[in-house]
Amino acid sequence: MITPVLSLLFAGALTVLTVVASVRAAGPAPLRARWAVPLVGVWAASVAVMTLRPGSGLGMRLNLVPILFDGPASALDAVLNVAVFVPFGLLLAAAAVRFRTTFVVALAITLTIEVSQYVADAGRTADINDVLTNVAGACLGWAVARTIRAVAGRVARNPDPVRL
């Protein structure tokens, strides 16, 4: 169980360092970037707690078949995986991290989680669908944040209401 813990701590530290480096490379950090960095740390710790708990031990230990939803529980699991990673994408966008960096870091984190779950043999399933849905959640969060920022910028530049 120590190896997965160390792997996730490493992934969390790498995530925070990536965000910090990206923010610093962009120049003076705006307020949204300054609060995003510690919140990424909180998010990473929360994900570590959720994914390191021993599982039920039931079911497969490894699933390499993508988009295999064998019932309502699998579909709910996919939705929850997306939902867990949306805040990560939102925070990275707030910190002005590029989409490509968001994608790569989300992929690295989720691969670390899944490999750790497989190696730990703690009753959890390493699942390719988790990789796909986690990365999709981070990318969705990033896109939502960028869209909100673009719309807010337009409203700030043109505060006149639209008449119908």
In a domain, 164, yes or no: no
DSSP state string for 116-143: HHHHHTSS--EEHHHHHHHHHHHHHHHH
In a domain, 163, yes or no: no
First to last CA, the chain: 61
**Residue among 85, 95, 74, 79 at smallest CA distance from 140:** 85
Q: List phi, psi (to 5°) of 160.
A: -65, 135
DSSP state string for 11-29: HHHHHHHHHHHHHHHTSSP
Residue 2 tokens, joined = 């120590």
Total tally of structural domains belonging to the chain: 1
Predicted TM-score of the model (pTM): 0.78
In a domain, 79, yes or no: yes
In a domain, 162, yes or no: no
In the chain, what percentage of residues exceed pLDDT 90?
Answer: 35
In a domain, 77, yes or no: yes
Q: How far is CA 58 from the centre of its chain?
A: 26
Residue 1 has pLDDT above 60, yes or no: no
In a domain, 120, yes or no: yes
Q: State residue 120's pLDDT score.
A: 82
Q: State residue 9's pLDDT score.
A: 64
Distance CA 109, CA 19 (A): 13
In a domain, 78, yes or no: yes
**Residue among 2, 31, 158 at smallest CA distance from 95:** 31
pLDDT digits (tens, 9 = 90+) for 104-158: 999 999 999 999 888 887 788 899 999 999 999 999 999 999 999 888 877 777 7
Q: State residue 139's pLDDT score.
A: 98
Helix (H) or strand (E) run with residue 111 in it: helix 99-120
pLDDT digits (tens, 9 = 90+) for 86-106: 999 999 999 888 999 999 999
Residue 75 has pLDDT above 80, yes or no: yes
The boundaries of the domain holding residue 135 are: 2-55+65-157
In a domain, 91, yes or no: yes
**What's the pLDDT band for 164 if we cut at 50, 70, 90?**
very low
List, in order, residues 6 or more apart from 76 with CB less than 8 Å away.
none
